[in-house]
Chains A and B, each alone.
Chain A
Amino acid sequence: MKSFLSGMVRFRRGSWEMLASILIALGVVMLMQPWFMWAFTWSFLVTLTGTVMFIVTSHFPE
């Protein structure tokens, strides 16, 4: 957790890619879950944020 946070602060690829991956996975779960309509409504925004973040952060240094 400590290395993850320090990676975030120092704009390291691994930590930011991990965060982007979590956002994408969360967005997909929100899109397909059967319980909350609001989660379905906001899912696209979460997935889009994660995907754009993934594209940007994949250019960060290792």
Chain B
Amino acid sequence: MQRTSIERVAAATPAPVARRLTGLSDRVIAWIFVAPTIFLLLAVNIFPLIWTIRLSFTNMRVNRPNEPVEFVGLRNYQRILTDPDIWQTMQATAHFLFWTLALQIVIGFALAWLINRKFRGNDLWTTIIVLPMMLSPAVVGNFWTFLYQPQIGLFNYAVGFLTGADPSSFSMIADVRLAPWAIIIVDTWMWTPFVMLICLAGLRSIPASIYEAAECDRASKWRQFWTITIPMVLPFLMLAVLFRGIENFKMFDLVVQLTGGGPGNTTELTSINLKREAFEKWRTGYSSAYAIILFVTVFGLASIYVKALNKVKSR
């Protein structure tokens, strides 16, 4: 006779285990299965968070283990939020955020608009455009460092070819004025395809019947664009802005590889600054408070992101 899978598992369960499980309710058995995952989540996510909150109220330094750890109340938060250097770092992050988002949205939407039109080799072009997004930020940072070299870099050569300037007369990474733009260009190059894919999903979700109705009403292409395309793609654009905003707020690897926060501190974004406070100056309590401030900011933005995502899903 054919046995069901449950019967097979029951038959294969060793007798001592079966005796122990007999009499347990489904709810208890479910908890037994879920408990390891919950324990892992608590150990990996929740415990470090609570520990960091606790540390943020102390003057702890991990490089001085023998020094007594004192409770300092809100002093770390007060010092961070009145520090002009950290304010400067926030402004560098804001500059990076604003320009990367603006460029990625404009170029990403334009590319999506072009790719959405059916033409020969459409799929091939989509694959080529999406390639940068698939590379590791460490690899991208490394090869753009070569592209930005004043003597041998292709980027400098291209700028020189187009503008007539001497390629070796400027250095994108070492110049105080150009370095913030160097990281913006690389991030835009890498992540515009992501915005393009989101916009493409938005464009393809618009029913053709709406455009046909607009054609019947003799609406111009320009009017169709502003009254149909933009409003219907807007939730998707908002999603892309929030997603890239959160990601770029935490940007670390690409910038460390490219400029290391320099020259001076012109490209020192918050995450790089935080790493310096925690692992170069070893101000553990202070950097914990700094991390909590960034965490609350990202968590708040993520809440809005989830809300926007649900709105898009419910459309």
Give the total of B residues in contact with A, Cβ under 8 Å: 19
Q: Knowing A44-B293, A44-B296 touch, does A28 contact B82 (C-beta < 8 A)?
A: no
Q: B235-251: contact bitstring with A at CB < 8 Å (1 yes, 0 no)?
A: 00000000000000000
Q: Are B296 and A51 in contact (CB under 8 A)?
A: yes
- The answer to whether A47 and B84 touch (CB under 8 A), given A17-B307, A32-B93, A32-B97, is no
Q: Which of A33, A42, A51 touches B94 (beta carbons < 8 Å)?
A: A33
Give residues of chain B (281-298) contacting chain A, Cβ–Cβ below 8 Å: 293, 296-297
B303 with A34: CB separation less than 8 A: no
**A11-28 vs B, Cβ < 8 Å mask (1 yes, 0 no):** 000000100110011011
Whether A5 is near chain B, meaning CB under 8 Å from some CB there, is: no
A48→B94 CA distance, assembly (Å): 19
| Residue pair B301, A24 in contact (C-beta under 8 Å) | yes
CB distance from A51 to the nearest CB of B (A): 4
Contact call A51/B303, Cβ cutoff below 8 A: yes
* Docked complex Cα distance between A28 and B241 (Å): 14
Q: Is the CB of A47 within 8 A of B304?
A: no
Q: With an 8 A cutoff between CB atoms, is A41 at the interface?
A: yes
Do B297 and A28 touch (CB < 8 A)?
yes
Q: Tell me if A32 and B90 are in contact (CB < 8 A).
A: yes
**Residue among B81, B296, B297, B307 making CB contact with A41, cutoff 8 Å:** B81
The answer on a CB contact under 8 Å between B307 and A34 is no
Q: Which of A35-62 contact B (CB under 8 A)?
A: 37, 40-44, 47-48, 50-51, 54-55, 58
Whether A40 pairs with B307 at a CB distance below 8 angstroms is no
How many inter-chain contacts with C-beta < 8 Å in the A-B complex? 54
Set of chain A residues within 8 Å of B84, measured between Cβ atoms: 37
What is the distance, in angstroms, from A40's C-beta to the closest C-beta of chain B? 5
Interface residues of A, count at CB 8 A:
24
B300: Cβ under 8 A from any A Cβ: yes
Known contacts A21-B307, A41-B81, A41-B82; is A47 also within 8 Å of B300 by CB?
yes
Q: Is B77 in contact with chain A by the CB < 8 A criterion?
A: yes
A54 to B307, CA, bound (A): 10
Question: A18 to chain B: closest CB distance in Å?
Answer: 9
Contact B87 A24 (CB under 8 A): no
| Whole-angstrom distance between the Cβ of A10 and the nearest chain B Cβ | 20
28 pairs of residues in contact across A and B, judged by CB atoms under 8 Å = A17-B307, A21-B304, A21-B307, A24-B303, A25-B304, A28-B297, A28-B301, A31-B90, A31-B297, A32-B91, A37-B84, A40-B87, A41-B82, A42-B81, A43-B81, A44-B81, A44-B296, A44-B297, A47-B296, A50-B300, A51-B296, A51-B299, A51-B303, A54-B300, A54-B303, A54-B304, A55-B303, A58-B303
Known contacts A17-B307, A47-B300, A58-B303; 16 additional CB pairs below 8 A are A21-B304, A24-B300, A24-B301, A28-B300, A28-B301, A32-B90, A32-B93, A32-B94, A37-B84, A40-B81, A41-B82, A43-B81, A44-B81, A44-B293, A48-B296, A51-B296
